[in-house]
Every structure is written in structure tokens, then in C-alpha cells.
Amino acid sequence: MKEYHHALHKVSGKVDRFFKKAFDSVCLTRPSVDFATLKGSPIMITSSHRSQADYFLIGNILHRIGIDNLRFAAGDNLTNLPVIGKWFQKWGAFPVERHRSSNRSYILRLCNQVSSMLEQGDNVIVFPEMGRSYTGRMLEMKQVIIGAAVLAQERNPEIRYLYLPSTVSYELLPELSYFETLLKGKKMRAPGNDMVRRGIGNVYYFGADAIAFLKFLLGHRFGRKYGNVYVDIGDPVAIDEIVDLAALRNAKASNEFWANRTAMKRISTEIYRRLLCLFRVLPVHIVASLLESHRACSLSSLKESVPLVLDSVRTEGRNVKSVGSLGAAELVEDGIRILHRMNAVRKRNNEIIVRNDPIVRYYAATIEKV
């Protein structure tokens, strides 16, 4: 076992205890596969990305179920944080400079870096959206990070490289109220801006994350909990189950990355589909989708509309484990409860009044087409 595996193992129990304090419950759904039987097959864990908590929530769960030698692709806004950033790097995190995701030389270097980790026997957790979704809608998959496994597979055809799709769905997203500030900082720190503007952007970007993260870490001491969180892990899938690398390879390309670009695109599309179908639809998502276009809606109207939304998400193959067995009244009540805790709605007689449009839109965005 590698050094960062032992470092993670030492804190795993403390992390478990923290999550029990921070959330009402952590609900895990995983495949029946024995991961010990896959030790000869390096795994790229592809996860949805909604919160800073994803890193150590997913990582600690994977560690507990037997996936060792984990590395984490973490945004530099996290790895650069004082003290906390050093902890994460000790546990296996490596920085990703998201603001350079359009820089060709950087993404090729990042792709090779992750590929080398897989070739050295590491199991790598990546967030192929290359950043948190600030809208609630799943972002386009970035081929560069997913493509690292393709390069490792081509270089080592005798080894079976796997993808493992995973998603995390939060009832109460810890940093949701800070997204507006984070987005402002992200735009200001873009490479095209002058030094002063980028500096101010860094203050907004890193400052908002630091405050949100500290509030999350300390919230339980003040009686603050973040509802239930759902971690859904799909079935592992080998690269050759998705594409035929040899058939798709462009022999005239200038390097191995561009030679395998078609395969990377197809794999990205498939990973997107799997993640979208795995991401759990919660009562708050259903209710928010019904409230999104209304400033006010009666309880009776919400209950009457629930079956239509449920039929739609079922038809699209979405994960309805948390809503499929609920009656309309129970589902609406639960969804309103979460929105009320986020100060996004209020009740007036028999009506639900929207107070915070961005939060309602965020939760509603989960109900999207496959």
C-alpha cells in the first residue's frame, strides 16, 4: 500500500464520525461486486460534482469498501486552502487548475499525469465536469480527464482499465448560498483579466470557498445538519465494453491524445449518460421543478402534478429510489421541508410562495432530459 493510502486509513474513522454529525444520514447504494477481485484492474472513479464535500465523502466511502491507493483530482481552490489543502494532498489529492482547462498544453500535461497514476497502480477519483455545477444541471464531460484512462489502456493493452461511475445527491447542499460569490470570483480571476482584477477574483473565489467549508466543518457544533446525502455507485465498466480503441484510432494524428480523441468523445458521452441516470432524484427536485415557473402554487396543484413528473423521470431512466414509492402528499411535504430549510419558500394559507428563485432553479435543474 502507498503512503497516502495509509494516511487516509488513519483518518477514515474520524471522517465517518464527522459525517454522522454533519448529515442526518449518509445513504450508500453500491454494486454487489467484490472490489478485492479487481485489484489488478486500475479504476478511474468518475463522479458527479456538487460540493467540496464530494472529495472526502466519495473517497472515504471507496476506501471503506475496499478500493485502495486512491488519488483525488481536486480543484486548486481546495488544495490551495491553508492547512486543509495540505491535508488533502497528504491523503492523495492532486491539484487541477480549472481556469486553465482551455489551455492545450496544460490539459495534455494533466492527461498524461493522471494516465501515469493509473499505470502506477493508483485508483483515481476524477470529476469529469471539471468543476462543481453552480446551476444544478450536470455539466458537459471534459474528455481530457476521462481520456487519461484511454491513454493508459492503449499503452498497456494487457491490463484491464475500468471506469466506476458515482454520484452524490444532497438534500441541503452545504455551499449553495455561496455560489453567486464563487461565480463572480471565477469570472474575475480568468487569465484574460488584468492582475488587480484577478487578485480580487481570487479573494472572492478562495474566500467564499474557505468560509463555506469552515461553516460546513463547524456546523454540527451549533446544531446545524445538512439533511440526508445519497451516494450511488454504479457497476464498473471496462473501456473495451464501451469502445473499440483500435478501430477508432486515428493513425495520422500528431500524438496519442489526438489519435484517441474519437474514442474519448464516445466514452465521455457514455459516462455522462451513466452519471445522469445514476444521480438520485429527490423530493426537493420534483417540488422545485413544479415551482420553478411560478411565484406561488397551491398545495393541491403541486400534489396533482407530481405523477406527471414522476412518469417523465421514470421514462428517462432516472434514479427514482427516493421518490418512486412515495405518495404525492408525502413527496410534496418532504420537498417543501427542504426548500423551507434553505429559506427558498414560505407557506401562506394553502399556497407555497417562492422566496429565493436561484435556489429553486438550482434544485429544479436536476429534472433534465437524458
Instruction: Dump pLDDT digits (tens) for 185-195.
Output: 988 988 789 99
pLDDT (0 to 100) of residue 86: 74
For residue 81, pLDDT over 90 is answered with no
Average pLDDT over residues 123-142: 89
What CATH number should be reported for the domain whose range is 3-174+226-278? 3.40.1130.10
pLDDT (0 to 100) of residue 79: 65
For residue 105, pLDDT over 90 is answered with no
- Tell me how far apart the alpha carbons of residues 342 and 176 are, in angstroms, rounded to a whole number: 9
In whole angstroms, how far apart are CA 187 and each of 105, 181, 199, 201, 245?
22, 10, 12, 7, 37
Quick one: CA torsion of 256, 258, 263, 264, rounded to 10 degrees?
100
pTM: 0.90
Instruction: Dump pLDDT digits (tens) for 233-244.
Output: 999 999 999 999
Q: What is the CATH topology of the domain spanning 283-364?
A: Arc Repressor Mutant, subunit A (1.10.10)
Average pLDDT over residues 120-128: 92
For residue 160, pLDDT over 50 is answered with yes
pLDDT (0 to 100) of residue 248: 96
Q: Closest by alpha carbon to 11, among 49, 55, 75?
A: 55
For residue 366, pLDDT over 50 is answered with yes
Average pLDDT, the chain: 90
Report which of residues 130 and 327 the model is more confident about.
327
Average pLDDT over residues 79-101: 72
Report which of residues 147 and 103 the model is more confident about.
147
The number of residues making up the chain comes to 370
Q: Closest by alpha carbon to 210, among 182, 250, 233, 189?
A: 182
3-174+226-278 and 283-364 in the same fold: no
Give the dihedral sign, CA 18/19/23/24. Answer: negative
pLDDT (0 to 100) of residue 151: 95
* Domain ranges (residues) in the chain: 3-174+226-278, 283-364
Report which of residues 81 and 265 the model is more confident about.
265
Q: Closest by alpha carbon to 287, among 256, 254, 323, 332?
A: 332
Q: Closest by alpha carbon to 208, among 179, 244, 168?
A: 179
pLDDT (0 to 100) of residue 83: 67
Confidence class of residue 101 from pLDDT cuts 50, 70 and 90? low
Confidence class of residue 370 from pLDDT cuts 50, 70 and 90? very low
Instruction: Dump pLDDT digits (tens) for 249-281.
Output: 999 998 899 999 999 999 999 999 999 999 999
